[in-house]
Amino acid sequence: THTIGLIIPDNSNPFFAEVARGIEDFGFQNGYSVILCNSDGDLKKELAYIGVLTSKRVDGIVFIAATAKAEHIKPFLGEIPLVIVDRKMPDLEADSVLVDNFGGGYAATRHLIDLGHRKIGCITGPPDLAPSADRVAGYKQALKDHGLQPLDELIVEGDFRYQSGNEGMRRLLDLEPPPTAVFACNDVMAIGAMKAVQDQGLRVPEDIAIVGFDDITLASFTNPTLTSVKQPKYEMGKIALELLFQRISSSDLQGRQEIILDTTLVVREST
């Protein structure tokens, strides 16, 4: 049918929109149309959309999972060519396009240490998601490598959405004394966190430096502009389709490819 299915977990988060752009552009250039499905983090919706896409006989699916779970969809994927992006799914037999989340978390934290910060907080994404867990591991390792002890009270759980960044920062600001810098595991939470600081009459970065992750376009337009770990979002989408086209054209391809792309720290005003 020259159609590709794309399932993303949250269409309100610009990260997924920018990955989808790479997929849609490259698909269209190669004569494919893309059906975009938003699972909204809901396993039932994820399963429903797999059914919709298979009933429409798409040639392949690019899948960004809502959670680390895949057993609910595995029986329904059949032989349909599948490529996983961003969130590693060990129990799904598929090629994957990921980034070096550990290295990105490490670089974000080392940047804050190099600026002289010693009490550095972290607002995590969903703990069961590999990208968040790996970023937090990078944060902890950077602290240890510089003689600093990771403290549980400085690590607050978020869910990759604005509100959880705002609430997480409020909790960190209640500490006596509060951290002087915070690494948020994605830009959307970093933006929520920035508002929490400014709502208390404090300033970014003078009172609290903030680093995000993703480098969505918006990061260049916040006030102050947001320092962030850049993910190659457009390229992730394009490479995912290249892998998918290989699968579609030769289903007897052996083995699975795992592509891990580098991240880059982009320093702006928030640090």
Query: What are the residues binding ligand RIB (CB under 6 A)?
Result: 13, 15, 86-87, 129, 131, 160, 186, 188, 213-214
Q: How far is the CB of 188 from ligand RIB (least distance, A)?
A: 5
Q: Which is nearer to ligand RIB, 154 or 216 (CB)?
A: 216
**Which residues, including other chains, have CB under 8 Å from residue 255's CB and lie 6 or more apart?**
none
> What whole-number distance in Å separates Cα of residue 16 and Cα of residue 10?
7
Q: Which is nearer to ligand RIB, 52 or 130 (CB)?
A: 130
Q: How far is the CB of 39 from ligand RIB (least distance, A)?
A: 13
- Taking CB atoms, the residue at the shortest distance from ligand RIB is 186
Q: How far is the CB of 268 from ligand RIB (least distance, A)?
A: 17
Tokens 């006989």 belong to 57
Q: Which is nearer to ligand RIB, 12 or 223 (CB)?
A: 12
- Of 131, 127, 187, which is closest to residue 156 (Cα–Cα)? 127
Q: Which is nearer to ligand RIB, 180 or 227 (CB)?
A: 227
Q: How far is the CB of 174 from ligand RIB (least distance, A)?
A: 25
Q: How far is the CB of 124 from ligand RIB (least distance, A)?
A: 11
b/e map of 107-135 (b: 16 or more CB within 10 Å)? bbbbbbbeeebeebbbbbbbeebbbbbbb
b/e map of 25-63 (b: 16 or more CB within 10 Å)? ebbeeeebebbbbbbebebebbeebbeebeeeebbbbbb
Q: Which is nearer to ligand RIB, 46 or 214 (CB)?
A: 214
